[in-house]
Structure 1
Amino acid sequence: MSKTAYSSRKIHHCHLEEGIPALPNGEAAYYLFWYNNIPMGHLWLDSIYPKDLTEWESFIINSLKQAWSFYFKPLNVSEKHQLLRAFKDNPTYLNEQFSSNYKKIFQRPTPTTSLPSISVVICTRNRTSALRECLTRLFLSTEKNFEIVVVDNAPSDSGTAELIKKEFPSVTYVLEPRKGLDIARNTGALTAKAEILAYTDDDVIVTPEWVSQIRQSFEDPLTMSVTGLVIPYRLDTEAQCFFERFWGFNKGHQPLIFDKAYFAKHLPVGVPAWDVGAGANMAFRKTVFEKVGYFDERLDVGASGCSGDSEYWYRIMAEGFTCRYFPHIYVYHQHRESWNDLKKQIFAYMRGNVSSVLVQYQKYHHQGELYRLRKSLPLYYLKRIKFAILHPKSRHNKFILEEIKGCFSGWKFFLKHKDSPFYPEI
């Protein structure tokens, strides 16, 4: 792999209704394609670049393949080129190609019943600058009638409390002295008053429509959780590019449903609950906490790593409810800038992944979870090790040791804490 595949790069936001973007000039870049503020696809440009406009159109068409397969009727290659030009030149033709799925999701009639109330919960620790930016963007929301709860998780100083008091007095501030993200999430769930709880992180930038879009996404009574697309805010460093390329939160550009059928299909080999979304952009009905319990407080602490969110989505599906992913509900995430911070993050991801799978097996005794740990995961890393031997200079190998150590550490953590309490005492 060429080094340019991981170098810092400019993010180009291309709005297709304004026409086909100019032919790239040969720089390493990351392209995001939009139509009327709906994310339609993304494209990395590394060592291979289009030689002319026709080839550039083909690059774009390939990146939009997933979205088009959902939003538009089946089109052959020539029709796709016509459609690409029609984004600007012939919107009537474009509208005729919209699928019923597009109209159902994005062109809903006015609801006959009032929308549910909503609270936004932000769990933070010692990051007042990032939190200020996050809250400032939230207050630009088109939706004005919502609650904001900030959970200050085991802070080392009073900076967050002072920030809220001085600059955001309408925000509900809660001090949670016990360290742990899922502990803070549960504190937020117990504090928030609304019917829908939307969670985001202090290093996230939300869009003005984010709150209202989440409110509108819980029409199906079986839907207990909704997630959305997470887009990189910037890709200024190699570490940020590496994370987005191999570990990013992008779950695709078409709506997805994770229901009973999805759960049953994957159950024999382990349900990949992390595919539901990312904790930086997720929401729940408040009643779900009564139905399936609260976040498992053994996860998402410094010793465990992460994956409290995916374990919770697993539980929702295991209890017969539905999770949904909507790419039009998007936020921007500020990825870790340094290799050292990313190294710690990836170790935590794998530690949390293994410990959460063991937690899921402990609760439900689904054999697929053991299959994943005993067969799928070892086989995956054997292939990774073989690749590393054959391609020792590949940057894809960069954190393989941290990943493997994280897996063993997650197993060790679970064995030590398997008898600890799961949830808060209500």
Structure 2
Amino acid sequence: MENFKPFTIQHLQVDQLDFFMPFPVNYYLVFWWKNIPLGHLWLYTYNSTIDSTTFKQKVTGAIQEAVDHYATIQKKDNQTLWKTYLLNSDLEKLKLELDDIIPLKIGSTTDEKLSIVICTRNRPKALDQCVKALMDSQDKDFELIVVDNAPDDDSTEQIMKKYPDVKYVKEPRKGLSIARNTGVRHTIHNIIAFTDDDVIVEPNWTRIIKTTFQDPLTMAVTGLVIPISLQVKAQYLFEKNQGFNRGYITKVFDKNYFEKYLNIGVPVWDIGAGANMAFRRKIFEQIGWFDERLGAGASGCSEDSEFWYRIMAEGWSCNYYPQLFVYHQHRDSEASLKNQMFSYMRGHVSSLLLQYKNYHHKGNLFRLYRVLPVYYLKRICSAILHLRFYVLKGTLNEVYGCISGYLYYFKYCNGKQNDT
């Protein structure tokens, strides 16, 4: 990784591949059919080229899971025609086939009203861009609450004066979960969505959210998160090894999913990301608030995944929709990435112990005392064996985060969560 070269992010419609003329640079390509994301491809073409046939084969592999998923839902008899049309550049037949396979809507819009909460701390410029994107939404029928969490100055408050229709709330107590709970308390509508100040939502985001709560068992919804930039190594490493991308097919995380993994630790982190999520208001009344001992400013992370855990543990569902997408600005320095990964593991371990404390599901302890030690031991041994010392350094940082999370839990989380 010493010779890292930046990646150019480019978005391509699958019927426009013949017009893509790659330069000898690295690409992160996202493939679409109209407004539906289908897959992505890391194209390592720095100082090299790729022929058209090989490129289309790679694209076919990248989008096949998503297209096959939609074809199965539509009960298509022949699910391979689209590949033939794509590889042969038969564009008219490809368009007709994909139009027949891929629905452009999740469902019909409901009469439910939408509240949106953005929690921010000391990032007024990023927040300004985030709010501006929301103000440019096609569906503007929503309320927006900005929670300014323990700010160092009034710069965020000054920025928000540009948006008189936005409800600005200053929360002096530091912590993302505290800020999110404060935001919920200031909302008035039955669907409550969250995004982050380093996110740019796409123009249809607010409209699509309103179509995702058709099933009465659905209490939470998440969506795809696409990187804005991969120009530096820290952004590349995060997207490649961690990232917020949960795939390009719709997923339902319900009681059956929960019980399937209960004995080995339910992978709630696969549900989505806090940068792109929404809830029914009544779930906060039924299972409580975000745990204020978790999240940035406290344990470091996992306040969202622990909340999803409670939703499923109580018999409700969480749904993931790739059609509900936003764009995220990843951290651009290796120091900030190091702190982020430390915090992720610190919060993860704390949440595992809290989930066990709340529900006595032994799978949480199995993951903590069996899965994680074996996983990190293998990574450490592999890094040493292959002399990949930058990997070893990053791995040990995550291990320190795990240890810190264990200590944090016994210092701060042994009591009852304060829900006042």
Interval containing the TM-score (normalised by the shorter chain): over 0.9
Equivalent residue for 2:41? 43
The residue identity in structure 1 corresponding to 2:367 is R
Superimposed CA distance per residue, residues 169-206 of structure 1 (whole angstroms, 9 cap, x where no aligned partner): 11111111110000000001111111100000000000
Equivalent residue for 2:278? 283
Distance of aligned partners of 1:296 and 1:228 in 2 relative to their CA distance in 1, 3 Å threshold = same
| Residue from 158, 162, 167 that aligns with 2:158 | 162
2:156 alignment partner, SS class: helix
1:174 alignment partner, SS class: strand
- Could you tell which deviates more after superposition, 26-35 or 376-385? 26-35
2:122 alignment partner, SS class: coil
The runs of 5 or more residues in structure 2 that have no matched partner are none
Q: CA deviation at 1:84?
A: 5.4
Equivalent residue for 1:81? 84
1:325 matched to 2:320? The reply is yes
Equivalent residue for 1:144? 140
1:386 alignment partner, SS class: helix
Please give the residue correspondences for 1:62-141 in structure 2 after superposition, counting only pairs within 5 Å: 62-72=61-71, 73=76, 80-83=83-86, 88-91=91-94, 93-95=96-98, 98=101, 102-103=102-103, 106=105, 108=107, 110=108, 114-141=110-137
Equivalent residue for 1:362? 357
Equivalent residue for 1:180? 175
Please give the residue correspondences for 1:8-407 in structure 2 after superposition, counting only pairs within 5 Å: 8-22=6-20, 24-46=22-44, 51-72=50-71, 73=76, 80-83=83-86, 88-91=91-94, 93-95=96-98, 98=101, 102-103=102-103, 106=105, 108=107, 110=108, 114-165=110-161, 167-393=162-388, 395-407=390-402
The residue identity in structure 1 corresponding to 2:137 is S
Question: Quick one: distance in 1 between partners of 2:324 and 2:410?
Answer: 38
2:322 alignment partner, SS class: strand
1:199 alignment partner, SS class: strand
1:7 matched to 2:10? The reply is no
Q: Any conservation in 1 of the 2:180–2:290 contact (CA below 8 Å)? A: yes
The residue identity in structure 1 corresponding to 2:127 is L
Distance of aligned partners of 1:107 and 1:185 in 2 relative to their CA distance in 1, 3 Å threshold = closer
Q: Any conservation in 1 of the 2:81–2:97 contact (CA below 8 Å)? A: no
Question: Quick one: distance in 2 between partners of 1:257 and 1:320?
Answer: 13
Q: CA deviation at 1:160?
A: 1.4
Superimposed CA distance per residue, residues 64-119 of structure 1 (whole angstroms, 9 cap, x where no aligned partner): 12212211247677751324557832256414751xxx44x7264x56xx421001
Q: CA deviation at 1:50?
A: 6.7
Q: CA deviation at 1:51?
A: 4.1
Q: CA deviation at 1:144?
A: 1.4
Q: Any conservation in 2 of the 1:224–1:323 contact (CA below 8 Å)? A: yes
Question: Quick one: distance in 1 between partners of 2:405 and 2:84?
Answer: 49
The residue identity in structure 2 corresponding to 1:288 is I
- Could you tell which deviates more after superposition, 415-424 or 202-211? 415-424
% same residue: 47
TM-score (norm. length: structure 1): 0.92
2:381 alignment partner, SS class: helix
Distance of aligned partners of 1:84 and 1:327 in 2 relative to their CA distance in 1, 3 Å threshold = farther
1:157 alignment partner, SS class: coil
Q: Any conservation in 1 of the 2:175–2:298 contact (CA below 8 Å)? A: no
The runs of 5 or more residues in structure 1 that have no matched partner are none
Question: Quick one: distance in 2 between partners of 1:220 and 1:19?
Answer: 37
Q: Any conservation in 1 of the 2:57–2:87 contact (CA below 8 Å)? A: no
Q: Any conservation in 2 of the 1:350–1:406 contact (CA below 8 Å)? A: yes
Question: Quick one: distance in 2 between partners of 1:309 and 1:327?
Answer: 18
Q: Any conservation in 2 of the 1:223–1:322 contact (CA below 8 Å)? A: yes
Q: Any conservation in 2 of the 1:206–1:332 contact (CA below 8 Å)? A: yes
Q: CA deviation at 1:422?
A: 1.5
Distance of aligned partners of 1:334 and 1:170 in 2 relative to their CA distance in 1, 3 Å threshold = same
2:262 alignment partner, SS class: helix
RMSD: 2.1
Distance of aligned partners of 1:285 and 1:76 in 2 relative to their CA distance in 1, 3 Å threshold = closer
Pairs aligned (count) = 415
Q: CA deviation at 1:151?
A: 0.5
Distance of aligned partners of 1:87 and 1:163 in 2 relative to their CA distance in 1, 3 Å threshold = farther
Superimposed CA distance per residue, residues 262-315 of structure 1 (whole angstroms, 9 cap, x where no aligned partner): 001000100010100000000000000011110000001434111100000011
Question: Quick one: distance in 2 between partners of 1:395 and 1:81?
Answer: 43
